[in-house]
Amino acid sequence: MRFLCHNCNVFVYDEERGDPKLNLKPGTKVEDIPDTYRCPVCGAIKCCLHPLGEETVSQETEEEPILVDKDLNYYRDRGREMLTNICGVYPVCDGDYDHTCFGQKYGAPIGMGGAGQGKTFSTNYNTLQQYRLKMKVIKTHHEPEMSISIFGKKIIIPVMGAPLSGAKPSLNAAISEEDLYWGLLKGAENFGSIGAVGNTPSAADDLGLNTVGKNQGWGIPFFKPQSQDRLIELFHLAESLDVIAMGVDLGGAGSTYWSSSGKRLYRKNEDDLKELVDSTSKPVIFKDIMSVEDALTVVDSGASACYVSNHGGRVLDSGQGVAEVLPGIAEAISGKILILADGTVRSGFDVLKILALGADVALIGRTLAQACIGGGETAVQMYFDYVKDDFHRAMLLTGCDTLKHVNMNILDKLECPLISRIK
Ligand SMILES: Cc1cc2nc3c(=O)[nH]c(=O)nc-3n(C[C@H](O)[C@H](O)[C@H](O)COP(=O)(O)O)c2cc1C
């Protein structure tokens, strides 16, 4: 008999076959599954397994040999297994309330979710989904020109990897910190883009930077807003390793991991920003900018890029979505400085939307981490390829021949906002 997990409606357990990944031999009845069982998709417990209706029971008698195609879905499935109880690697990574990552953690690590109840994470998704793409297909054919130069380097689509870190607390220790950084950096590079790394209190604060160094500088290290002296030291080291650019995630001042590790982080003022920019000849990026005032200060500091982000909702709960603030920020600073933005960008269609809202480059966080855990640099590169195909399609079908054609005119905003499924 086969059973469906009623929590995720994805995982099916077949008693006849058992499940080698769950250590369940063929013939293991549901009632004999140990209580330690957790659904490999969503982490739900055993009582969520319900018999599948007769009509859906397979009538096949002969076993077909299973040929494993190591495509992106294969690596996502592997990632799901390795992230059990932390992240369901769901078809849509939106921080929804019925996902494993959602909800208050009461002091435990926030895993792949968000701070507090995780509302800012899902608000990123809901506010981006308020925008729809207008289809427009009657036009002389041109292959969309998708490449862009950033910090003097050409990338083949305006998409990069967002800085990630914290393999131990956030990713079930399913990968080592260094392998996470390496997979993100190399996968992005092999595709034709640039990856980024963060820094975490559970590893040396220069591990990400040194991994970029190991990759001949191809990548962008982001540092938490540590003391000014330490940041300047890290900036000098980054310059000596010839990194493409370096950044500070200013919202990291609210990092739950750093505060629980007892390592201090600080808010930075206008003078601090200028001092950091002046301390290096390399491009500097300030991340986690969510207001016009902060964005103007970033421009004044002489930085090379303003990175609009709420840190994936991981620092401030009940916050605004990136798609809500991006158009206002872009109106104030567009053309003065490069604008980067992230927040539930999952597909090439999402990339086009976030560019139309005012970003020059879109960055992807969680779903690249999932890919990296499932298949390292190979899967990260596959994820970029997947995004590129849909981005090409999206440009073609909205009448955009070049990135200059991408603006608010290709978007339709729902008057009545999508009702969040959050309870
Ligand atoms: C597991 C995890 C670790 C992260 N680590 C960092 C970090 O070290 N530095 C940083 O600036 N942002 C970090 N972020 C935030 C991302 O850079 C990015 O802003 C966010 O993930 C984008 O949203 P998305 O995941 O919905 O695409 C992290 C996010 C996740 C999910």
d(CA 281, CA 190): 27
Q: How far apart are CA 222 and CA 154, in angstroms?
A: 20
- Structure confidence at residue 58 as a pLDDT band (50, 70, 90): very low
- Structural domains in the chain, sorted by start: 2-56 (2.20.28.10), 148-413 (3.20.20.70)
Q: How far is the CA of 29 from the centre of ligand 1 (A)?
A: 41
Q: Is 298 left (phi over 0), alpha (psi -120 to 50) or beta?
A: alpha
Cα 23 to Cα 21: distance, rounded to the nearest angstrom: 5
| The residue type at 238 | A
SS3 content of the chain, % helix, strand, coil (to 5): 40, 15, 45
Query: Do the Cβ atoms of 13 and 23 come closer than 8 Å?
Result: no
Pocket probe mutation, ligand 1, options 90, 124, 164, 307, max atoms within 8 Å of Cβ:
164
SS3 state at 22: helix
Q: What is the pLDDT of residue 39?
A: 83
Percent of the chain with pLDDT strictly greater than 70 = 94
Closest C-alpha among 366, 376, 361, 371 to residue 406? 361
Output b/e per residue, 264-294; b: 16+ Cβ within 10 A.
ebeebeeebbebbbebbebbbbbbbbbeeeb
Confirm if 193 and 391 have CB atoms less than 8 A apart.
no
Give the closest residue (by CA) to ligand 1 atom 4.
164
CA of 121 to the centre of ligand 1 (A): 11
Confidence of residue 422 (pLDDT cuts 50, 70, 90): very low
Best of 102, 129, 165 for a ligand 1 pocket test (most atoms within 8 Å of beta carbon): 165
Q: Which residues line ligand 1 (CB under 6 A)?
A: 112, 124, 162-166, 170, 198-200, 222, 249, 252, 287, 309, 311-312, 314, 342-345, 364-366, 369
- Average predicted confidence (pLDDT) for the chain: 93
- pLDDT band with cut points at 50, 70 and 90 for residue 20: confident
- The rounded Å distance from CA 343 to ligand 1 centre is 9
289 with 309: CB under 8 angstroms? yes
Looking at ligand 1, which residue's alpha carbon is closest to its atom 14?
164
Whole-number Cα distances in Å, 371 to 219, 266, 270, 367, 382: 18, 32, 37, 6, 8
Whether residue 212 contacts residue 220, with contact meaning beta carbons closer than 8 Å, is answered with yes
Residue 311 Cα to ligand 1 middle (Å):
5
Neighbours of 261 (CB within 10 A): 13
Count of residues for the chain?
423
163 Cα–ligand 1 center, Å: 6
Taking the centre of ligand 1 as the mean of its atom positions, its distance from the CA of residue 285, in whole angstroms, is 15
Q: Among 366, 368, 373, 380, say which to mutate for ligand 1: greatest number of ligand atoms within 8 Å of CB.
A: 366
CA–centroid distance, residue 365 to ligand 1 (Å): 5
Ligand 1 atom, smallest distance to 199 CA: 8
pLDDT in tens, 192-209: 999 999 999 999 999 999
What's the CA dihedral at 388, 158, 280, 166 to 10 degrees?
-50
Q: Which atom of ligand 1 lies at the shortest distance from residue 287's CA?
A: 11
- Top pLDDT among 35 and 320 is at 320
pTM of the model: 0.87
Nearest-CA residue for ligand 1 atom 26 is 344
pLDDT in tens, 287-334: 999 999 999 999 999 999 999 999 999 999 999 999 999 999 999 999
Mean predicted confidence (pLDDT) in 111-122: 96
Could you identify the atom of ligand 1 that is nearest to the CA of residue 124? 26
Please give the Cα distance from 101 to 98 (Å, whole number): 8
Q: How many Å lie between the centroid of ligand 1 and the Cα of residue 405?
A: 29
